[in-house]
């Protein structure tokens, strides 16, 4: 690592008072380049910090060098079936302190905290071209597990996003190829009228039932039983958080399934599919709900969301 004496470095939690130096740091184009939109006002950052501090799934670590804040990292705990994972997010170091080992020490502190919280595997993402960050993570033992093409548009070119992992305690046993049973059925479209739209207030009872259907336990991050309050909190989050959407698929008034996704802001011009639940019992009649077709149909909606800054949720 760099030349900083570890004895000069202290770690502490984040507070709303940190908004001023974070604003200054994140408005540096070189720091913001791989992180997101800038310039940001102190007011926006202060609100973000306030909201972030309320999230029980997120823990922030601030590094201080000679008593002055130098950088920050977040450990975000995954949920449900993925609760063995901890994501290190939003790492940045003030530019004047780059190359002194602060980034390395902060990431290491994030890993330590994740271990203390019982996390088995730490994940981190970085963008193609961010060699400083990638090398730092590799030095700490992270390995690229997968990458996403054309994730962000930076300095005139589309970049990959690397997802890197570091196992803290073994995740075993793994699923073997042979044990994966194929129950692929052909996608027979029938003449059933299906309607896809954004989830709204009147749908909450149906959504609550869907989140508790047996299929939701298989691939979703939830672990039923989900209470009505949890469904309501999920919905409030959907309505209040920038870029979060949920397309629901109905047959008449019956909710067959939903697809929740996040539309990211520049430079990360992409959609992340967060959760898909299809109640197989309700869609049994048709063997398999024609999601692929519905998604193609709703691709137009998604493109509108992706490319139009004026898109507003219809909920
Ligand atoms: C990435 C970042 C956090 C690194 O912080 P830092 O305090 O400079 O990191 P460190 O000093 O601990 O380590 C940097 C390492 O990268 C290496 N490095 C420095 N410049 C590099 C470059 N141009 N190419 C490749 N590696 C480089 C250094 O060799 C150093 O390794 P060393 O310890 O062997 O010298 C900081 O540059 C930053 O805030 N970047 C902007 C935000 C960002 O990109 N965050 C990460 C999002 S994934």
Do 142 and 51 have their domain in common?
yes
Write down the residue that tokens 């790492």 correspond to.
91
Distance between Cα 57 and ligand 1 center (Å): 27
Q: Are 315 and 200 in contact (CB under 8 A)?
A: yes
pLDDT (0 to 100) of residue 312: 37
CA 253 to chain centre: 31
Give the 3-state secondary structure of residue 244: strand
For the chain, how many structural domains are there in total?
A: 2
Distance between Cα 35 and ligand 1 center (Å): 14
Among 167, 184, 205, the domain-final residue is: 167
How sure is the predictor about 185, in pLDDT bands with cuts at 50, 70 and 90? very low
196 lines ligand 1 (CB under 6 A): no
- Is 144 among the domain residues? yes
If you average pLDDT over residues 185-208, what whole number do you get? 80
**Residue 263 above 60 pLDDT?**
yes
**Residue 313 above 70 pLDDT?**
no
137 lines ligand 1 (CB under 6 A): no
- Is 41 among the domain residues? yes
Do 146 and 290 have their domain in common?
no
Mean pLDDT (the chain, rounded): 86
pLDDT (0 to 100) of residue 61: 98
Do 17 and 148 have their domain in common?
yes
Distance between Cα 136 and ligand 1 center (Å): 6
How sure is the predictor about 176, in pLDDT bands with cuts at 50, 70 and 90? confident
Q: How many Cα neighbours within 13 Å face the side chain of 34?
A: 20
**Residue 157 above 60 pLDDT?**
yes
More confident residue, 315 or 247: 247
- Please state whether the peptide bond connecting residue 137 to the residue before it is cis, i.e. omega within 30 degrees of 0: no
- Is 174 among the domain residues? no
35 lines ligand 1 (CB under 6 A): yes
- Is 99 among the domain residues? yes
Q: Which domain holds residue 25?
A: 6-167
Do 99 and 48 have their domain in common?
yes
How sure is the predictor about 188, in pLDDT bands with cuts at 50, 70 and 90? low
Closest residue by Cα to residue 294 from 257, 263, 265: 257
- What CATH code is carried by the domain that includes residue 106? 3.40.630.30
Do 16 and 149 have their domain in common?
yes
91 lines ligand 1 (CB under 6 A): yes
Distance between Cα 82 and ligand 1 center (Å): 29
**Residue 85 above 80 pLDDT?**
yes
Q: Are 193 and 307 in contact (CB under 8 A)?
A: no
Do 76 and 143 have their domain in common?
yes
87 lines ligand 1 (CB under 6 A): no
**Residue 242 tokens, joined:** 């920038």
More confident residue, 47 or 252: 47
Do 160 and 262 have their domain in common?
no
- Is 275 among the domain residues? yes
- Is 70 among the domain residues? yes
pLDDT (0 to 100) of residue 194: 83
CA 241 to chain centre: 12
Distance (Å, whole) CA 65 – CA 47: 25
pLDDT (0 to 100) of residue 178: 76
- Is 313 among the domain residues? no
Per residue in 116-150, pLDDT (tens digit) is: 999 999 999 999 999 999 999 999 999 999 999 99
**Residue 293 above 70 pLDDT?**
no
Ligand 1 atom 4: the closest Cα is on which residue?
103
pLDDT (0 to 100) of residue 259: 95
Reported pTM: 0.81
> Which ligand 1 atom lies nearest to the CA of residue 2?
33
How sure is the predictor about 306, in pLDDT bands with cuts at 50, 70 and 90? very low
Do 216 and 136 have their domain in common?
no
> Which ligand 1 atom lies nearest to the CA of residue 130?
44
Distance between Cα 1 and ligand 1 center (Å): 10
Distance between Cα 90 and ligand 1 center (Å): 14
pLDDT (0 to 100) of residue 287: 47
**Residue 15 above 70 pLDDT?**
yes
Closest residue by Cα to residue 208 from 242, 191, 233: 233
Do 14 and 161 have their domain in common?
yes
């Amino acid at each position: 690592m760099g030349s900083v004496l570890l004895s000069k470095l202290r770690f502490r939690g984040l507070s709303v008072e940190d908004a001023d130096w974070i604003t200054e740091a994140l408005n540096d184009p070189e720091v913001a380049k791989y992180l997101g939109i800038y310039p940001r006002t102190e007011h926006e950052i202060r609100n973000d910090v306030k909201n972030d501090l309320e999230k029980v799934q997120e823990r922030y670590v601030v590094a201080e060098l000679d008593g002055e804040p130098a950088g920050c990292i977040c450990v975000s705990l995954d949920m449900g079936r993925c609760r063995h994972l901890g994501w290190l997010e939003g790492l940045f170091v003030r530019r004047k302190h780059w190359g002194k080992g602060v980034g390395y020490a902060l990431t290491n502190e994030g890993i330590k905290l994740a271990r203390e919280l019982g996390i088995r595997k730490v994940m981190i993402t970085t963008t193609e071209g961010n060699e400083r960050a990638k090398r730092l993570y590799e030095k700490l033992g992270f390995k690229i597990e997968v990458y996403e093409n054309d994730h962000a548009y930076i300095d005139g070119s589309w970049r990959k996003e690397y997802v890197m992992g570091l196992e803290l305690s073994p995740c075993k046993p793994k699923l073997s190829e042979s044990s994966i049973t194929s129950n692929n059925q052909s996608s027979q479209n029938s003449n059933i009228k299906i309607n896809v739209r954004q989830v709204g207030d009147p749908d909450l009872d149906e959504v609550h039932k869907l989140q508790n259907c047996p299929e939701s336990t298989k691939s979703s991050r939830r672990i039923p039983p989900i209470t009505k309050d949890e469904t309501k909190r999920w919905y409030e989050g959907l309505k209040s958080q920038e870029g979060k959407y949920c397309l629901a698929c109905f047959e008449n008034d019956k909710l067959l399934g939903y697809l929740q996704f996040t539309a990211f802001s520049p430079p990360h011009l992409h959609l992340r599919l967060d959760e898909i639940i299809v109640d197989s019992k309700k869609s049994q009649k048709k063997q398999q709900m024609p999601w692929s077709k519905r998604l193609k149909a709703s691709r137009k909606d998604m493109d509108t969301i992706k490319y139009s800054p004026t898109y507003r949720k219809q909920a």
